[in-house]
Structure 1
């Protein structure tokens, strides 16, 4: 996946949590082996070339492609697994893999999990009694600054995902043209229970642009968002304030 993962795990039986941590890390490495579009021998590359069928791939491939098809349906095609005419589920894999790894740790007994995958975060439980997880959202126009701080207070699970041009340049594709999306946005941050979807919705909304993207995000249940334009205008969904703190 070409990114860095960081774990913050609280509580639980040390032996069980340590074993789950090793399993989660191994699972992330396996995801990279299966889904990397930079590896000619990965299952997703071989599938794209027609050398494998979905049924011949690991079950996770079918799972991810089904989730991606749902994201494409909900976004009316603004989220896509095609890049320059080639199968490329990169836009969903990182969020899905990060969320899955976080849940493995919670299932092993951890009472609080914060798993950061390349800047996108899945939060489960709490870091301590009476203390919620908090996630800073970088300001794309002011390096080192924060645009907001998201609080997971009152939520057993919460995810924060950002799509934009600050870190990776023009990497988000407009599915209608197959070329980098040209919009008035520099960043979209989505807050939702699951990182799998938060990551997809941030990507789709960025490709739409601020007006259409914000209107669409407002229709999604349990989703809040912060959109920042190149003109330094901040636009938010109606319930975002309840998630800041």
Structure 2
């Protein structure tokens, strides 16, 4: 089974290689992602996030899902010394950096609950893989037609933060200015909740974010800094061909 839909502002593709898993499982995945977009988007006037930001509901009145997301946001704000912050001065509450990975990981859980064991769910380039090996190419930060590394995943997730798609959209919460020091940073972790949030938080920290991300439990890192230096943790799962070449 293979399906692609545009949800939350980017293409989401699903491939399931288990023949006993039907289209209803894909229906459930995309229905959940559309629900997340409606409830948590900072761009929808009637979303729960916007209602909280406007003071129409209090923190104690939010759903259990939004409470979980906000707890994660606060955890990473503290862990990065404020570099990762979803409440920047002069801007509305924007938890998208956590919501994307969290919601796609939850969607992967729906697939597993339906009996899927071999699948790949790709949300705008951030991937949850199960039953690999799956090969996932990471786009070169300066050449759109090239990859800078290919990761080989079994049961894991991979996420990249960079500025090549949306410009300087990642801000350092300590300064309020665009993050500097990195061209791209990729994280492989057991879940996309972790991989995506750690990648964004580390990018916001700049060059110091590489060591910070590498020290997070279960995380492996591949980064390119603004001096075009490539830094890779020993456990980053490159393909066997790349490992031999190195």
Task: Give yes or no for the alignment of 1:123 onto 2:129.
Answer: yes
Task: Tell me the SS of whatever aligns to 1:161.
Answer: strand
Map 1:107-186 to 2 at 5 A: 107-126=113-132, 132-152=133-153, 155=154, 157-181=155-179, 183-186=180-183
Task: Tell me the SS of whatever aligns to 2:168.
Answer: coil
Question: 1:194-235, CA deviations, whole angstroms, 9 ceiling, x for partnerless residues?
Answer: 11111111111112222x112212321211111112332211
How far apart, in 2, do the equivalents of 1:160 and 1:133 lie? 11
Between 219-228 and 49-58, the greater mean CA deviation after superposition:
49-58
User: Structure 1 pair 145/124, CA: closer, same or farther in 2 (3 Å)?
Assistant: same
What is the TM-score normalised by the length of structure 1? 0.88
Map 1:7-26 to 2 at 5 A: 7-11=14-18, 13-15=20-22, 18-26=23-31
How far apart, in 1, do the equivalents of 2:159 and 2:214 lie? 16
Task: Tell me the SS of whatever aligns to 2:10.
Answer: coil
Query: Is the contact made by 1:106 and 1:124 (CA closer than 8 Å) also made in structure 2?
Result: no
Task: Tell me the SS of whatever aligns to 2:42.
Answer: coil
How far apart, in 2, do the equivalents of 1:118 and 1:204 lie? 18
Task: Tell me the SS of whatever aligns to 2:30.
Answer: helix
User: Corresponding residue for 1:129?
Assistant: none
User: Corresponding residue for 2:39?
Assistant: 34
What is the TM-score normalised by the length of structure 2? 0.88
Indicate which of 238, 243, 246 corresponds to 1:244. Answer: 238
RMSD: 1.6
Query: Is the contact made by 2:135 and 2:152 (CA closer than 8 Å) also made in structure 1?
Result: yes
Task: Give yes or no for the alignment of 1:4 onto 2:11.
Answer: yes
Task: Tell me the SS of whatever aligns to 1:93.
Answer: helix
User: Corresponding residue for 2:109?
Assistant: 103
Aligned length: 231
User: Structure 1 pair 42/151, CA: closer, same or farther in 2 (3 Å)?
Assistant: same
Query: Is the contact made by 2:42 and 2:93 (CA closer than 8 Å) also made in structure 1?
Result: no
Task: Give yes or no for the alignment of 1:220 onto 2:221.
Answer: no
User: Corresponding residue for 2:95?
Assistant: 89
Task: Give yes or no for the alignment of 1:188 onto 2:185.
Answer: yes
Task: Tell me the SS of whatever aligns to 1:26.
Answer: helix
Unaligned runs of 5+ in 2: 1-7, 240-246
Task: Tell me the SS of whatever aligns to 1:163.
Answer: strand
Unaligned runs of 5+ in 1: 127-131
